[in-house]
Amino acid sequence: MAEIHVRDLHKNYRVHVKPAGLGASVKSLFHRTYKEVQAVDGISFEIEPGEMVGFLGPNGAGKTTTLKMLSGLIYPSSGSVSVMGFVPWQRKNEYRRQFALLMGQKNQLWWDLPANESFRLHKEIYHIEDDLFKRVHGELTELLEVENLLDQPVRELSLGERMKMELIAALLHSPRVLFLDEPTIGLDVVAQTNIRHCLQQYNQERQVTILLTSHYMRDIEALCDRVLVIDHGRLVHDGLLRDITERFATHKLLQLRFQNGRMPERPEEFGEVTDLTPPRLTLRVPREQVPQCVSHLLDCYDVDDIAIEDPSIENVISALFRQTAEQASDDVVVAETMNG
């Protein structure tokens, strides 16, 4: 039985279209125009217990909205969700005791008090037994190296230190399912690695299920085998991270070094030239043309060294996002011409 089960989930927001200018604003006081934003547009997936899944997508893709529905904060427009057998938006206490939501941009700790006071409040709200609290609290503060900051008011902590405290607050009650929305946003590399490491260890020790969004590919690469890629509210990929390259990379990079300084006179005939510093040449070649291109080059020139590489995942994904964004703007143009 899957831990998280999402079927055909939709969320539409009705937003008031605000016209620019004061005159138009006054008019809109009496006559409002609305448009529907399809924040999440028919998503389905399943996540098994203990899995760590990355949730990728450009800004506004609907990642946060999905996580909010999974944690029962907002109601979906349609579709069904079951997490550990619960319907999230019924907000049963048994459900809420077993998951945690961490949002990189919001903080839940008491701003003027030391983090420890907030932790003690959590202990009561989640009804954590003394022994368990002491143990988990000790483990987490040690793992994140924040023992000496526990008694300092949260407002005096740095962003990274505060994020670590937020993470502790989210993990204190030993949740079975974790929703993390950009847990490493704005942190330096050391703090990012620190948090990543903590999540990894936590997942291994307790087999918690984690669904994580991040704009840092490093996070996703380090933590998740499987990724869900979402764009404009739709799922465009559900599978292994490395399959993304297989599926979406349209080109490969060909790196060549020539002997004797004799090089192709018109290298652009073979592909897009991305770098040319004799005797080296780097070409971006459509995948299906790679074999042909390589054999041709090897036949006609003295090639000293050759490497065929996939573009980095980061590049593939940003190309993928750009491509879908162009598609979407094409759709808009089509829709507009149809209306007009």
Partner 1 sequence: MRPRYSRILLRFWKNCLLREMTFRGHFILRVFGEVGWVFLLLVFIEVIFSKTSHVRGWSEPQYLFLMGTHMLVTSLFETLFFENCWRISDLVRKGDLDFVLVKPANTQFLLTFERIDFASLANLPVGIALCTYAAIQGGFTITFGHSVLFVLLIGTGVCMLYAMLFMFALTSVWLIRQTGLDALWFYAMSLSRYPAEIYRGFAGGTLWFVCVFVVPVLMVANLPANVMVRTFTTPFIINFIVAAAVLLILSNIALRWALRSYRSASS
- Residues of this chain that bind Mg ion (CB under 5 A): 64
CB 56 within 8 A of CB 220: yes
User: CB-wise, 73 or 87, nearer to partner 1?
Assistant: 73
In the complex, the smallest distance separating the C-beta of residue 240 from partner 1, rounded to whole angstroms, is: 28
User: CB-wise, 206 or 218, nearer to ligand ATP?
Assistant: 218
Distance in angstroms between the alpha carbons of the first and the last residue of the chain:
50
Q: Which helix (H) or strand (E) holds 304?
A: strand 303-309
User: CB-wise, 64 or 141, nearer to Mg ion?
Assistant: 64
- According to DSSP, the residues that pair with 105 across neighbouring strands are none
In the complex, the smallest distance separating the C-beta of residue 233 from ligand ATP, rounded to whole angstroms, is: 7
Amino acid of residue 210 = I
Interface pattern 58-97 for ligand ATP (x via CB under 6 A): -xxxxxxx--------------------------------
Query: Can residue 332 be called a binding residue for ligand ATP (CB under 6 A)?
Result: no
Q: What tokens appear for 294 in the block?
A: 């390589």
In the complex, the smallest distance separating the C-beta of residue 78 from partner 1, rounded to whole angstroms, is: 15
Interface pattern 13-32 for ligand ATP (x via CB under 6 A): x-x-----------------
In Å, what is the CA distance from 264 to each residue of 73, 112, 233, 238, 284? 61, 68, 46, 41, 15
For tokens 């939709």, what's the residue?
10
d(CA 169, CA 73): 19
User: CB-wise, 124 or 269, nearer to partner 1?
Assistant: 124
In the complex, the smallest distance separating the C-beta of residue 186 from Mg ion, rounded to whole angstroms, is: 14
d(CA 191, CA 170): 17
Please choose which of ligand ATP, Mg ion, partner 1, none residue 62 contacts, taking the beta carbon within 5 to 8 angstroms, the exact cut-off set by kind: ligand ATP
Q: What tokens appear for 38 in the block?
A: 């399809």
| Contacts (CB under 6 A) with ligand ATP, residues 29-48 | 37, 39
In the complex, the smallest distance separating the C-beta of residue 181 from Mg ion, rounded to whole angstroms, is: 6
Please give the radius of gyration of the chain, using alpha carbons only, rounded to the nearest integer: 25
| Contacts (CB under 8 A) with partner 1, residues 232-271 | none
Q: Which of 163, 185, 181, 178 is closest to 115 using CA atoms?
A: 163
Query: Can residue 96 be called a binding residue for partner 1 (CB under 8 A)?
Result: yes
HEC profile of 96-161: HCCEEEEECCCCCCCCCCEHHHHHHHHHHHCCCCHHHHHHHHHHHHHHCCCHHHCCCEHHHCCHHH
In the complex, the smallest distance separating the C-beta of residue 170 from ligand ATP, rounded to whole angstroms, is: 18
d(CA 174, CA 101): 12
In the complex, the smallest distance separating the C-beta of residue 301 from partner 1, rounded to whole angstroms, is: 54
User: CB-wise, 66 or 282, nearer to partner 1?
Assistant: 66
User: CB-wise, 99 or 321, nearer to ligand ATP?
Assistant: 321
Instruction: Kindly state the number of chain residues that form the binding site for partner 1, as judged by CB under 8 A.
Output: 37
User: CB-wise, 292 or 327, nearer to ligand ATP?
Assistant: 327
Q: Which of 154, 196, 190, 323 is closest to 251 using CA atoms?
A: 323
Q: Among 45, 86, 99, 321, which residue interacts with partner 1 (rule: CB under 8 A)?
A: 99
Query: Can residue 216 be called a binding residue for partner 1 (CB under 8 A)?
Result: no
Which residues contribute to the site for ligand ATP (CB under 6 A)? 13, 15, 37, 39, 57, 59-65
